Amino acid sequence: MRHSTVWYPFTQHALEPPMRRIVGTEGAYLVDEDGASILDAISSWWVITHGHRHPVVMEAIRKATETYDQIIFAEYTHAPAEELARGLIEIAPPGLAHVFYSDSGSTAVEVALKMALGFFHNGGHPRNRICVLEHGYHGDTIGTMSTGERGVFNAAYAPLLFSVDRLPFPDPGREQATLDAFETACASGEVAALLIEPLLLGAGGMKTYPASVLSELKRIAERHSSLLIADEVMTGWGRTGSLFACEQASITPDILCTSKGMTGGVLPLAATLCTGQIFEAHLSPDRRKTFFHSSSYTANPIACAAALANLAVWKGEPVRERIEVLTERQRQQIARFAEDLRFVNVRQRGTIAALDLKVPAGGYLAEVGPRLKAFFRERGLLIRPLGNVIYLMPPYCITEDDLQRAYDAIDEAASLFGAGRL
């Protein structure tokens, strides 16, 4: 793969084997050019929710292409974006009132940060500090990298990244330290917002924390008139068991970011939802208070049509039941590793399950990562461990047999590559 016209993301071209060319997708599967089926146990980087090429979403896209392409989204509007905004507000945590469109999870978070700073700036009492959780991930743009965990991924760009206040991760028994750190940061009166992945930190290693910590953080934020930004880019659309993870903490964030599963994972689209208060802080006869943000493909009508179809699937099909069934199957399957000495931190949040393989040296660049990936690949499984953290985040249509097959492979891989092997 040294010589490649295409420069692939998160790919070390000097080391990786040739890309596998995919010619089609169906349900929980990718099909390669040799006709081999690959079980997509990570939903193609966490985007596919119901399964690949859900017929309702695909049909909506076909239909939308008969009427629309891209339409400028200032001065002009279109029905798919308007209907979708109403639909999102209907299902989002109560109190969110406005929808700002963009095209990726990273931009949804950038928009959220700008909304938060704009809110305080326009109110005449600027606040410039952002609090985040240790191990967080919010995207790969300069702004979102600034808010994410620092490490090998962003070492080269560190000089350009802005500083944020990092709260210690609420590991079991250390929850109070997180709350205290937030309280202390807020006491400065300079914290505009806490940006946080609710209940489950994805790219940071599928780390989970209790809903009670999230609701307590929201209370602290309220006490100090700081905002809470929920980055639900990954946790949204049922992954953690509820439509949005915030529901489990019974909170409404001031700002909520959603993307990945918003179109069922079929087309790129994102939205940043906010309260009336934040929208109104940008309302003024003074044009300087305008929210100055857009991207060319904002609210692409075809992507909005796909998202509307996704909403229809959620309303018209037993999606919640499918999620309950998958959650229960994950629980049963991962239980076999609960007392297994080859693993630590066996955990689950709704449809997502994860466990850490014991290895001499862990972390994202753990030697074992590429070996595990190659092992799974040979067995027709798309599973990409984060270093020694193995996780399954399958589409909701995965069958019991397929899930079993994935767990059997994890079992075998642990014997071959774990520190527990002899």
φ, ψ dihedrals at 278, nearest 5°: -75, -40
The answer for 227, left when phi > 0, alpha when psi is -120 to 50, beta otherwise, is beta
User: From the CB of 108, what's the least distance to ligand PLP, in Å?
Assistant: 7
Indicate the helix (H) or strand (E) that contains 412: helix 400-417
**Residue (143 or 418) nearer to ligand PLP, CB:** 143
- Which segment (65-73, 179-187, 196-204, 401-409) binds ligand PLP by CB under 6 A? 196-204
Judge residue 3's burial from the number of C-beta atoms within 10 Å of its C-beta, 0-12 exposed, 13-18 middle, 19 or more buried.
exposed
The window from 195-203, 208-216, 321-329, 362-370 that contacts ligand PLP (CB under 6 A) reads 195-203
CA-to-CA distance for 319 and 210, rounded, in angstroms?
24
**Measured between alpha carbons, how far is 185 from 331 in angstroms, rounded to an integer?**
37
Tell me the β-bridge partners of 200: 208
For ligand PLP, the nearest residue by Cβ is: 105
Name the pairing type of β-strands 129-133 and 165-167.
Answer: parallel
State the nearest-atom distance from the C-beta of 138 to ligand PLP, in Å.
5
Q: Measured from the CB atom, is 206 or 413 closer to ligand PLP?
A: 206
CB of 84 to ligand PLP, least distance (A): 18
* x/- track of binding to ligand PLP for residues 103-142 (CB under 6 A): -xxx--x---------------------------xxx---
Give the nearer residue to ligand PLP in terms of CB position, either 202 or 387: 202
**Which CB, 27 or 139, lies closer to ligand PLP?**
139
As a three-state string, the secondary structure of 281-323 is CCCCCCHHHCCCCCCCCCCCHHHHHHHHHHHHHHHHCCHHHHH
> Does 334 sit near ligand PLP (CB under 6 A)?
no
Phi, psi of 217 (to 5 degrees): -60, -40
- Smallest separation (angstroms) from ligand PLP to the CB of 233: 4
Rounded distance between C-alpha atoms, residue 349 and residue 341, angstroms: 22
Letters for 143-182 (x = contact with ligand PLP by CB under 6 A, - = none) are ----------------------------------------
Smallest distance, ligand PLP to C-beta of residue 109, A: 6
What is the nearest approach in angstroms of ligand PLP to the Cβ of residue 46?
6
Whether 214 contacts 237, CB under 8 Å: no
What are the residues whose beta carbons fall under 8 Å from the beta carbon of 342, sequence distance 6 or more?
A: 357, 358, 414, 415, 418, 419, 420, 421
99 vs 108, beta carbon nearer ligand PLP: 108
Binding to ligand PLP, residues 197-226 (CB under 6 A): 197, 202-203
Specify the residue, 214 or 281, whose C-beta has the smaller distance to ligand PLP: 214
CB closer to ligand PLP, 44 vs 225: 44
Rounded to whole angstroms, the Cα distance separating 195 from 230 reads: 6
At closest approach, how far in Å is the CB of 168 from ligand PLP?
19
Binders of ligand PLP among residues 223 to 242 (CB under 6 A) are: 231, 233-234
Calculate helix-pair angle for 400-417, 319-334, nearest 10 degrees. Answer: 30
The number of residues that bind ligand PLP (CB under 6 A) is 14
- Of 259, 263, 300, 333, the one binding ligand PLP (CB under 6 A) is 259
Residue among 47 and 251 whose Cβ is closer to ligand PLP = 47
Counting Cβ atoms within 10 Å, is residue 33 exposed (0-12), middle (13-18) or buried (19+)? Answer: exposed
Q: Are the beta carbons of 64 and 309 closer than 8 angstroms? A: no
Q: Which is nearer to ligand PLP, 241 or 418 (CB)?
A: 241
Sheet hosting strand 270-275, strand order edge to edge:
96-102, 270-275, 255-258, 227-231, 191-196, 129-133, 165-167
Binding site for ligand PLP (CB under 6 A): 104-106, 109, 137-139, 197, 202-203, 231, 233-234, 259
